[in-house]
């Protein structure tokens, strides 16, 4: 750079800084009406967020204008969950404002990190599925793809978890109480959504058979837009979240019969739809309100897209199917199939055949689970009451589909019964996964094994019918949040050693591999990990009172609490280590801190009991002086996105220990790998691909594989395994003898009888010996820090494949057929 350019450049930087400084002051004084003396954190957060937001808005409007003007195909990601967490630091990093923000905060004597902590997590999701949607939006913006996210603006997100006497207590998450500086209400784009009522079949003036959905209760869908900034690329995409509101007539017409106050109160019925996120992550409870949420999202979003289409194309839908794509995040938005049919046929006079070919051109479905209890089925009775017109359309889709199948398999009534969209019986149900498959051109699983099992098992008949529909898209995570943002020390070390390219293209991370052999580099690697461990030590101390030591192995399992994820297996190993300590068998034993965190669905009693067990085991072990230097166990309350941002940089051993065949992919496993943790895991979900990329010498493998699980089930005798293995026997004796439940004898019997049950679906005892042995290998590897750090570096170096940029690149090319908007 020439001297003049250089000084002009630094002039500009100074101006940005001055302006930002003054804008924070201006927002404090005028936007928030705050007095200049003694500024509190929450005010400073808001003023800064608004100042940063102002800088997003210009790029956002330009991106929208480019989108609107472009004739290119567009994608809509429909999801009941977007677990985006905090937005401030993300916006600051993506706009490259970090330096000026830091300087402008210094006048108030605070650090960016402190102010960022003031922001509530946007907890609009349960777990992996919702967080994946958030990582995908980040990657779409990074890749400048024309993708809009559509979701719900829940007033209450995922509950806050407290632990009281070892048990989980849920508190509401009123995250919008202090306002949300990142959202923009768009009153001009409100839509109306129908519920209840009945259908009327009639003939139009020109004699065409038509259907009217009348007598319905309408609810207003009000959109709130959130900016999704790309990484320093001038792109800001949109996440549109719908809020339910009563329509004006709601109180006037329908409730005129009642009194004024009852009429106003009745508005609640409509506004309840987006009041709360359902907090289960793997099973639908069949509640009407949940189906209302699903249809509300789908109808408002499809109307939104159609209204935009009509603005530029009029009522010509011939190109609609090739110009638009809707990606369904699991079956939760599967009503999009019949709803798009309804909108095209009833509201836009398209004929059935044309409408159906449009739908099958633009719908794509992602499956996230093989668990049978998670497969959505809605009772026909509920459906016909709430969405009568949709049910008629589903019946018609089914009749035509079954006729097609009957032609391919003449005389095979069994296959018709198996693939029908309606599960027959005394209480018939709509099978939402089948509806999504029949109505889509693409069906994908989220990891190699998962997709294979979908084709061979759950969706076998459909795979036989349409083999080309099925494809795999192994999940990924965004390295911008899950490495660069949450692990700044590692980010700086990486940039210094291999350059900055990995931030936008993680395949560059492989350049790190040669550094594993460099002793000086390994030492710097170790120093970064120690720093991150110190940060987590403080968090653990603050939240639980327990003091971790930074020389111990940080052994971490954080995820939703579920039997198939086998937190219980982890606890059994902790008990085993404690038993060895008590027996003095500690030769060669490293010091270890086990951290477990996660929320249990409020109605999932066994999961809640597992939380209680973790807490009670931790009480006993942490209070026993004999264990003091060797073992600590902690349950970290209220696991969430912002907690993972502190946890994954500090983790050294990542527990991915689900029963093989049960975890569709996992994404926490990828965040840990990126940050240099080694995985101890089964051959399940994306663990298989993690091991392939890292190399089996850099992965602690144990347990049955999916095929082994299937055969073991037929002849499983856990009691014999226990009796034949003295170490396992002692674990069970301690559990059953009440060592961890002195004050409440027998409270864990449901867990211990489950472990001993030959029909235990999770085969915990079958994998326990192999798990203990793998943990022993991890123990021994940790005793050689040079070796451990080499493996750690190689894990990070092999994590390139697990970027959501790679995943989204594949969606764009292989499913959506969209290109970046230039």
Catalytic residue of the set 331, 544, 667, 679: 667
Q: Does residue 177 have an active-site annotation? A: no
- CA quadruple 126, 132, 134, 136: dihedral, nearest 10: -160
3-state secondary structure of 742: coil
Q: What is the token pair recorded at 289?
A: 């309100």
Backbone angles phi, psi at 369, to 5 degrees: -160, 150
- The interface with ligand 17S within residues 153-212 (CB under 6 A) comprises none
**369 lies in the binding site for ligand 17S (CB under 6 A):** yes
- Dist. CA 321–CA 336, nearest whole Å: 14
Nearer to ligand 17S, 154 or 309 (CB): 154
Nearer to ligand 17S, 218 or 284 (CB): 284
Q: Which of 100, 142, 237, 280 binds ligand 17S (CB under 6 A)?
A: 280
Query: Using H for helix, E for strand and C for coil, what is the string for 548-611?
Result: CCCCCEEEEEECCCCHHHCHHHHHHHHHHHHHHHHCCCCCCCCCEEEEEECCCCCCCHHHHHHH
Nearer to ligand 17S, 278 or 434 (CB): 278
Nearer to ligand 17S, 129 or 228 (CB): 129
Catalytic residue of the set 194, 455, 469, 671: 671
Least distance (Å) between residue 125 CB and ligand 17S: 8
Nearer to ligand 17S, 374 or 765 (CB): 374
Q: Which of 282, 442, 479, 656 binds ligand 17S (CB under 6 A)?
A: 282
**638 lies in the binding site for ligand 17S (CB under 6 A):** no
**83 lies in the binding site for ligand 17S (CB under 6 A):** no
Catalytic residue of the set 131, 368, 450, 480: 368
Q: Which of 108, 278, 383, 811 binds ligand 17S (CB under 6 A)?
A: 278
> Between 641 and 670, how does the x/- string for binding to ligand 17S read (CB under 6 A)?
----------------------xxxxx---
Least distance (Å) between residue 662 CB and ligand 17S: 8
Determine how many CB atoms are found less than 10 A away from the CB of residue 795: 26
Q: In 639-717, which ranges are continuous DSSP H helix?
A: 641-647, 668-674, 687-694, 706-713
- Dist. CA 20–CA 14, nearest whole Å: 10
**685 lies in the binding site for ligand 17S (CB under 6 A):** yes
Catalytic residue of the set 34, 450, 469, 559: 559
Please work out the total of residues on this chain that contact ligand 17S, with binding judged by CB under 6 A.
Answer: 23
**128 lies in the binding site for ligand 17S (CB under 6 A):** yes
The b/e string for 637-657 (b: 16+ C-beta within 10 A; e otherwise) is bbbbbbbbbbbbbbbbbbbbb
Least distance (Å) between residue 419 CB and ligand 17S: 23
Cα–Cα–Cα angle for 138, 86, 657, rounded to 5 degrees? 75
- Dist. CA 66–CA 62, nearest whole Å: 6
Backbone angles phi, psi at 337, to 5 degrees: -65, -60
Q: Which of 127, 157, 197, 718 binds ligand 17S (CB under 6 A)?
A: 127
Nearer to ligand 17S, 131 or 240 (CB): 131
**Chain mean position to CA 410:** 43
Least distance (Å) between residue 807 CB and ligand 17S: 10
**129 lies in the binding site for ligand 17S (CB under 6 A):** yes
Least distance (Å) between residue 366 CB and ligand 17S: 7
Q: Which residues are 160's β-sheet partners?
A: 171
Q: Does residue 368 have an active-site annotation? A: yes
Least distance (Å) between residue 560 CB and ligand 17S: 7
Catalytic residue of the set 565, 566, 592, 662: 565
Backbone angles phi, psi at 620, to 5 degrees: -65, -50
Nearer to ligand 17S, 575 or 601 (CB): 601
**789 lies in the binding site for ligand 17S (CB under 6 A):** no
**87 lies in the binding site for ligand 17S (CB under 6 A):** no
**284 lies in the binding site for ligand 17S (CB under 6 A):** yes
Least distance (Å) between residue 133 CB and ligand 17S: 9
Angstrom distances, CA of residue 32 to CA of 28, 49, 101, 435: 5, 12, 19, 49
Q: Which of 132, 678, 728, 755 binds ligand 17S (CB under 6 A)?
A: 132
Q: Which residues contact 195 (CB under 8 A, 6 or more apart)?
A: 216, 217, 218, 219, 292, 295, 386, 387
Determine how many CB atoms are found less than 10 A away from the CB of residue 179: 10
Nearer to ligand 17S, 89 or 667 (CB): 667
Q: Which of 475, 487, 654, 775 binds ligand 17S (CB under 6 A)?
A: 475
Q: Does residue 565 have an active-site annotation? A: yes
**374 lies in the binding site for ligand 17S (CB under 6 A):** yes
Nearer to ligand 17S, 94 or 280 (CB): 280
Nearer to ligand 17S, 92 or 364 (CB): 364
Nearer to ligand 17S, 168 or 199 (CB): 168
Least distance (Å) between residue 477 CB and ligand 17S: 10
Nearer to ligand 17S, 341 or 664 (CB): 664
**446 lies in the binding site for ligand 17S (CB under 6 A):** yes
In a 13 Å sphere around the CA of 157, the CA atoms on its Cβ side amount to: 23
Q: In 70-168, which ranges are continuous DSSP H helix?
A: 88-94, 98-106, 112-116, 128-142
Least distance (Å) between residue 469 CB and ligand 17S: 19
Nearer to ligand 17S, 23 or 330 (CB): 330
Catalytic residue of the set 240, 243, 290, 560: 560
Q: Which residues contact 14 (CB under 8 A, 6 or more apart)?
A: none
DSSP state letter for 677: P
Least distance (Å) between residue 242 CB and ligand 17S: 17
**59 lies in the binding site for ligand 17S (CB under 6 A):** no
Q: What is the token pair recorded at 501?
A: 């390219």
Give the DSSP H/E element, type plus range, for residue 242: strand 236-246
Q: Which residues contact 221 (CB under 8 A, 6 or more apart)?
A: 190, 191, 192, 193, 242, 243, 244, 245, 296, 299, 300
Point out which span in 15-23, 123-131, 141-149, 813-821 binds ligand 17S (CB under 6 A).
123-131
**281 lies in the binding site for ligand 17S (CB under 6 A):** yes
Integer-rounded Cα Rg, in Å, for the chain is 28
Least distance (Å) between residue 643 CB and ligand 17S: 17
| Residue 580 near residue 775 (C-beta atoms within 8 A) | no
**Chain mean position to CA 253:** 41
| Residue 230 near residue 146 (C-beta atoms within 8 A) | no
Q: Does residue 194 have an active-site annotation? A: no
Point out which span in 127-135, 336-344, 457-465, 516-524 binds ligand 17S (CB under 6 A).
127-135
> Between 321 and 340, how does the x/- string for binding to ligand 17S read (CB under 6 A)?
---------x----------
Indicate the angle between helix axes 388-408 and 432-439, nearest 10 degrees. 70
Least distance (Å) between residue 565 CB and ligand 17S: 9
Q: Which residues contact 358 (CB under 8 A, 6 or more apart)?
A: 317, 320, 321, 340, 344, 350
**293 lies in the binding site for ligand 17S (CB under 6 A):** no
**493 lies in the binding site for ligand 17S (CB under 6 A):** no
| Residue 254 near residue 217 (C-beta atoms within 8 A) | yes
- Pick the closest to residue 320 from 336, 308, 337, 332 (CA basis): 308
Applying CB under 6 A, the residues found at the interface with ligand 17S are: 126-129, 132, 278, 280-284, 330, 368-369, 374, 446, 475, 663-667, 685
Mind telling me the catalytic residues? 368, 559-560, 565, 667, 671
């Amino acid at each position: 750079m020439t001297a003049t350019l250089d000084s002009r450049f630094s002039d500009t930087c100074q101006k940005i800084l001055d302006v930002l400084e003054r804008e924070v002051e201006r927002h404090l004084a005028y936007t928030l009406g705050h007095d200049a003396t003694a500024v509190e954190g929450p005010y400073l957060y808001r003023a800064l967020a608004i100042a940063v937001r102002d800088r997003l808005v210009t790029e956002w409007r330009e991106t929208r204008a480019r989108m609107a003007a472009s004739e290119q195909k567009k994608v809509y990601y429909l999801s009941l969950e977007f677990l985006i967490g905090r937005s401030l630091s993300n916006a600051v990093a993506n706009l490259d404002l970090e330096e000026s923000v830091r300087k402008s905060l210094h006048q108030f004597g605070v650090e960016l990190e402190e102010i960022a902590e003031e922001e509530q997590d946007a907890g609009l999701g349960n777990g992996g599925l919702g967080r994946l949607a958030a990582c995908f939006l980040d990657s779409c913006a990074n890749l400048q793809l024309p993708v809009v996210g559509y979701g719900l603006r829940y007033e209450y997100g995922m509950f806050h978890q407290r632990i009281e006497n070892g048990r989980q207590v849920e508190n509401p998450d009123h995250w919008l109480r202090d306002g949300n500086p990142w959202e923009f209400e768009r009153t001009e784009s409100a839509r109306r959504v129908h519920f209840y009522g009945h259908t009327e079949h009639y003939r139009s003036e020109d004699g065409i058979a038509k259907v009217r959905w009348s007598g319905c209760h309408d609810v207003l869908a009000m959109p709130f837009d959130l900016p999704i900034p790309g990484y320093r690329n001038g792109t800001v995409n949109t996440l549109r979240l719908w809020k339910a509101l009563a329509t004006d007539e709601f109180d006037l017409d329908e409730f005129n019969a009642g009194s004024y106050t009852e009429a106003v109160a009745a508005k609640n019925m409509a506004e309840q739809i987006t009041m709360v996120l359902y907090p289960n992550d793997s099973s639908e409870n069949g509640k009407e309100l949940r189906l209302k949420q699903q249809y509300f999202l789908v109808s408002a979003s499809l109307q939104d897209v159609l209204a935009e289409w009509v603005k530029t194309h009029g009522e010509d839908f011939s190109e609609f199917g090739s110009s638009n794509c809707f990606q369904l995040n699991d079956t939760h938005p599967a009503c999009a199939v019949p709803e798009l049919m309804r909108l095209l046929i009833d509201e836009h006079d398209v004929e059935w055949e044309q409408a159906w070919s449009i739908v099958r051109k633009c719908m794509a479905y992602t499956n996230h689970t093989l668990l049978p209890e998670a497969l959505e089925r809605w009772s026909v009775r509920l459906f016909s009451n709430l969405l009568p017109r949709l049910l008629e359309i589903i019946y018609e889709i089914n009749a035509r589909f079954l006729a097609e199948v009957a032609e391919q398999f003449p005389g095979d009534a069994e296959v018709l019964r198996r693939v029908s969209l309606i599960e027959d019986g005394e209480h018939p149900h709509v099978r939402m996964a089948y509806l999504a498959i029949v109505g889509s051109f693409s069906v994908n699983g989220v990891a190699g094994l998962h997709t294979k099992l979908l084709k061979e098992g759950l969706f076998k008949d459909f795979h036989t019918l349409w083999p080309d529909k099925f494809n795999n898209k192994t999940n990924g995570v965004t390295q911008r949040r899950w490495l660069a943002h949450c692990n700044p020390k590692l980010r700086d070390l990486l940039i210094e050693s291999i350059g900055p390219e990995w931030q936008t293209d993680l395949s560059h991370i492989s350049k790190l591999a040669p550094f594993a052999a460099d002793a000086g580099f390994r030492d710097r690697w170790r120093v970064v990990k120690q720093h991150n461990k110190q940060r987590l030590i403080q968090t653990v101390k603050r939240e639980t009172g327990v003091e971790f030591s930074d020389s111990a192995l940080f052994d971490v399992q954080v995820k939703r609490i579920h039997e198939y994820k086998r937190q219980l297996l982890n606890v059994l190993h902790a008990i085993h280590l404690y038993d060895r300590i008590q027996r003095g068998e500690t030769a060669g034993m490293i010091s270890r801190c086990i951290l477990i965190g996660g929320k249990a669905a409020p109605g999932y009693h066994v999961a809640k009991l597992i939380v209680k067990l973790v807490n009670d085991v931790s009480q006993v072990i942490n209070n026993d002086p004999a264990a003091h230097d060797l073992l600590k166990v902690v349950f970290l309350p209220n696991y969430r996105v912002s907690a993972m941002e502190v946890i994954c940089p500090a983790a050294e051993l990542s527990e991915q220990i689900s029963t093989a065949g049960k975890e569709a992919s996992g994404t926490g496993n990828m965040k840990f790998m990126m940050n240099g943790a080694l995985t101890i895991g089964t051959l399940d979900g994306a663990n298989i691909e993690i091991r392939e990329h890292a190399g089996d010498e850099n992965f602690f493998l144990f347990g049955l594989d999916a095929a082994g699980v299937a055969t073991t089930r037929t002849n499983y005798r856990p009691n014999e395994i226990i009796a034949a293995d003295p170490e396992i026997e002692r674990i069970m004796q301690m559990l059953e003898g009440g060592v961890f439940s002195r004050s409440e004898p027998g409270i864990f019997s449901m867990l211990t009888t489950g472990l001993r049950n030959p029909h235990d679906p999770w085969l915990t005892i079958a994998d326990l010996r192999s798990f203990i042995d793998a943990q022993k290998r991890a123990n021994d590897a940790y005793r050689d820090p040079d070796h451990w750090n080499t493996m750690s570096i190689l894990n990070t170096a092999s994590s390139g494949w697990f970027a959501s940029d790679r995943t989204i690149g594949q969606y764009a090319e292989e499913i959506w057929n969209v290109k970046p908007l230039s």
